[in-house]
Amino acid sequence: MRAFRSLDSGGRRAIILRAFSEHGAMTDRVLCAVLGFSDMNAVRPRVTELVHAGQVIEERTVCDEVTGRRVRLCRLAPAQLELAV
């Protein structure tokens, strides 16, 4: 995952979009695990950027299995799903 850390933010966003395409809706924690990270700050800022760009949608909130807190469950926006096909 060293290569992931060295990517610019655009490259990280592309990898995150691909993960959503392959795995469907996920929380930041699940996305982090899918990408092999333990620090959620490795993906959280990029997911927020993708939400603001309209490429990812915050679908709803769910209970985080680790913290018990309500967290966002995100998925690809419909336009991104069409591109992934």
Least confident of 8-12, 19-23, 26-30, 53-57: 8-12
| Domains of the chain: total | 1
pLDDT in tens, 27-66: 999 999 999 988 999 899 999 999 999 999 999 999 999 9
Distance CA 57, CA 74 (A): 5
Secondary structure (3-state) at 61: strand
Could you tell me the pTM of the whole model?
0.82
What pLDDT, on the 0 to 100 scale, is given for residue 11? Answer: 84
**60: helix, coil or strand?**
strand
Which CATH number is 75's domain given? Answer: 1.10.10.10
Residue 2 has pLDDT above 90, yes or no: no
pLDDT of the residue at 1 = 47
Domain housing 22: 2-84
